[in-house]
Amino acid sequence: MPEETRSHAQPAYGGYLLVAAAAALWATSGPISRVLYAEGVTPLELAFWRTAAASVLFIARLKFTEQPTDGRVTVRDLPALVLFGAFGIGAFMVSLAYAIETGGINLAVILLYTSPAFVALGARVWYRELLTLQKTSLITLTMLGVILIATGGGRGINVTAVSLFWGFAASLTYAAYYLVGKWATARYSPLRILAYVFPVAALAILPFVEFGGYSPSALIWLAVLSIATTYLPYLLYYRGLVEVEISRAVVVATVEPVIAAVFAAVFFAEFYSLQALVGAVLVVVAAVRSASAESPQAQIKRA
């Protein structure tokens, strides 16, 4: 992960704009997924094509931009990256696709922001980080928010055991970005990591996919999903990290559930109830506070 940041005396407005743009693009993944489902594309097909197309773009960019001095992945680290690609990326993309299909955009996106709670628990197990009173309080706040969302629901928000399962599965696998990122980004550049793990993710998903026919509009939307919600936001986000501190970048990126909620309301008539809206706010607040409390080395944003 880039460690270069501007001094506090020179506000990195360009960096903040890049991070905000990345978050806005991520927020479009829900609406675009809903359009593709209406076109007959299954969640597994969507997850596969999203990772496969982005893989080609990440590999091509790495080939054109890598320097002779860039670190190559060692044989010793390769198994860990393969597992990360299969479960951290592949399982995440599949879980998120099913979460959107079964629960709606708002529920799927807001449950992603419970991931800091899983990060805190995982860091306690794998990195022996202390589970402080502050972290425990934020986990409690997150769970309270989820309870309010689950019991409050709203129009177009389908809260069931299945949708909660896929939502939490997406959040849990999303947390791997933070936990594995602490290890991986200390060794390799984000672009190199993405160029390795995304192809693995696509290959891991492939055996489970039954491909159907695609209309011209479905092919266009699949291309948009792969480029606009995966490849471009990753590049924008990591470019923004060159100019801003990661703890601040994560805070800026929380515009994602806000933008996603607007898209869901305008295009799909999805609305939180008042109780669920309060719960969503609690989850986002807990995510922001968790980002501020974590050390920069412990944080990495998804693709």
Q: pLDDT, tens digit, for every residue of 206-254?
A: 999 999 899 999 999 999 999 999 999 888 877 776 677 655 666 677 7
d(CA 204, CA 157): 30
Average pLDDT estimate for 149-159? 88
Q: Which two tokens stand for residue 111?
A: 């449950």
User: What pLDDT is recorded for position 295?
Assistant: 44
User: What pLDDT is recorded for position 235?
Assistant: 83
Q: What angle do CA 138, 143, 148 make, to 5 degrees?
A: 125
Average pLDDT estimate for 282-299? 66
Structural contact between residues 145 and 283, judged by C-beta atoms closer than 8 angstroms: yes
pTM assigned to the model: 0.83
Burial class from Cβ neighbours inside 10 Å (0-12, 13-18, 19+) for residue 262 reads exposed
User: What pLDDT is recorded for position 254?
Assistant: 75
Q: How confident is the model at residue 124 (pLDDT cuts 50, 70, 90)?
A: confident
Q: What is the tally of helices (H) and strands (E) in the chain?
A: 15, 2
Q: What is the pLDDT of residues 86-96, one digit of tens each?
A: 988 999 999 99
The closest of 238, 114, 220 to 171, measured between CA atoms, is 114
Q: How confident is the model at residue 7 (pLDDT cuts 50, 70, 90)?
A: very low
**How many residues in total does the chain contain?**
303
- Look at residue 69 and tell me whether its pLDDT is greater than 50: yes
Residue 49 has, within 13 A of its CA and on its CB side, a CA count of: 21
% the chain with pLDDT above 70:
83
Q: What is the DSSP string of 222-259?
A: HHHHHIIIIIHHHHHHHHHHTTS-HHHHHHHTTHHHHH
- Look at residue 52 and tell me whether its pLDDT is greater than 80: yes
User: What pLDDT is recorded for position 289?
Assistant: 78
Q: What is the pLDDT of residues 163-193, one digit of tens each?
A: 999 999 998 888 877 677 667 777 888 888 8
Burial class from Cβ neighbours inside 10 Å (0-12, 13-18, 19+) for residue 292 reads exposed
Q: How confident is the model at residue 102 (pLDDT cuts 50, 70, 90)?
A: very high
User: What pLDDT is recorded for position 237?
Assistant: 79
Mean pLDDT of the chain: 83
- As a whole number of Å, the end-to-end CA separation of the chain is 14
CA 113 centroid distance within chain: 9
Q: Which of 80-84, 113-117, 139-143 has the lowest mean pLDDT?
A: 113-117
User: What pLDDT is recorded for position 127?
Assistant: 61
CA dihedral 171→131→298→278, nearest 10 degrees, is 40
% the chain with pLDDT above 90:
40
Q: What is the pLDDT of residues 271-285, one digit of tens each?
A: 999 999 999 999 888
Q: How confident is the model at residue 9 (pLDDT cuts 50, 70, 90)?
A: very low
